[in-house]
Structure 1
C-alpha cells in the first residue's frame, strides 16, 4: 500500500520509529509493509532460506531474511532515502553488510507474493532491482507453487523460466547450487 505522502524520511529517521512500524521507500513513495505474511508464505521463506543456507555454510556469502536493503550502496543511514525489505537476500560482499541494513545490491533477491504485494513485487521492485543491478531475482507464487527466475543480462532481466513445485532450479548466479522445489513447497500446507 502506498502512503499518500512523498518521502521526507531518511533511513536514520526510520530507525528511530517504533519497531512495529515497517516501511519500504522506493522512488520517493512510502510503502507500508503491514500486515505480517501468512503461514504458507513464512514456511516457503524458511524452506528456501534453509536450502540456501545449507549450500553457503562455511562460505563467504550470507543468506539473510527480512532485512532492509539500501540498493544504491549508501552506508550512512542519514544519507539513505530509499530502501526495500525483501523476503530473502544473498550477499557475498561482506563490505555491504551493515549493522541494520545491506548497503548495495545483493547477488540474489527472493520475493514471495501475497495479494497485497503482487503488483509491487512484479512491477515496482522488479524495475528497481533491475536498475540497481541485482544479478538474480526470484518471484515466488505460493498460490500456484511456482518460481519465476530472472537473471540480469546487459542491464535487463531475462526470464530464465517458471519452475513448478516438482522441478529443480539451477541457480544461475552460483555454480553447483540447485534448489529442489519439492522441499520448498511442502504438501502439508
Structure 2
C-alpha cells in the first residue's frame, strides 16, 4: 500500500496536525520529517545541563528536547536539546510546548552536537543562523567530540563568540552569570560509571 504524504500549506496547519503518536517532526518544505532519537551521550549531557539550570532557575523555566521552536527557513521548526524559557512562556506553553515567532524568544538554547559532518554543519551553521534570526540572546554549542562549549551572544542582531571553552574553563554565560560550571564537569558526568 502506498502512503500519500500530507503537504502542509502553513505552520498553523502543521500545528493543528496530530498523528496520535509522541513522535517529533521537523516541517521541511511543507512535509513532515521524523526526528530520530538522540544518542545516549547527547541525552546525558542535555540532562546534566537541565539539572544544573533547574537548580539555578527552578524547573519551570528549563525545557528539554521536547520544546519546539518555530524558525524561519527550512526546516520551519527545531527541537533544541535544552532551552531556557522566559517566565511569561510558562503560561504560553501550557497547551503546546511550542515557542512561535510571534512570541518573545527564549533566553538560551543549547545544542549538543551529534556525530557526523552533516550534524556538525546543522548545529554550527544552519541552527546558528536560524536562532540568530529568532533573536535568541544566547546559544551554546556543546561538542562532545572536541569536549568544548562554544558560547555565542546576540549583539546587533548577530552572534558573536564569547568563548570556546574547554577543560577546566568556567563557562561564561552572559544571560546567567551566576552559573558556576566548568566544561570538564559536563563531560565527566557522561563518563561516570
TM-score w.r.t. length of structure 2: 0.77
Q: C-alpha displacement at 1:53, in angstroms? A: 0.9
Q: Which has the larger radius of gyration?
A: 2
Cα distance in 2 between the residues matched to 1:170 and 1:185: 17
Corresponding residue of 1:55: 56
Q: C-alpha displacement at 1:31, in angstroms? A: 4.5
Corresponding residue of 1:101: 97
Secondary structure at the aligned position of 2:149 is classed as strand
Corresponding residue of 1:82: 76
Structure 2 contact 162–172 (Cα < 8 Å) conserved: no
Gapped runs of 5+ residues in structure 2? Answer: none
Secondary structure at the aligned position of 2:19 is classed as coil
Structure 1 contact 24–30 (Cα < 8 Å) conserved: yes
Q: Which has the higher helix share?
A: 2
**TM-aligned CA distance change 1:39 to 1:172, over 3 Å:** same
Gapped runs of 5+ residues in structure 1? Answer: 73-80
CA RMSD of aligned residues (A): 2.8
TM-score w.r.t. length of structure 1: 0.78
Cα distance in 1 between the residues matched to 2:45 and 2:109: 14
Corresponding residue of 2:183: 181
Corresponding residue of 2:68: 68
Q: Which has the higher strand share?
A: 1
**TM-aligned CA distance change 1:65 to 1:40, over 3 Å:** same
1:119-134 mapped onto 2 (5 Å cutoff): 119-134=121-136
Q: C-alpha displacement at 1:40, in angstroms? A: 1.2
Which 4+ stretches in 1 moved above 4 angstroms? 4-7, 26-31
Q: C-alpha displacement at 1:30, in angstroms? A: 5.2
**How many pairs were matched up?**
174
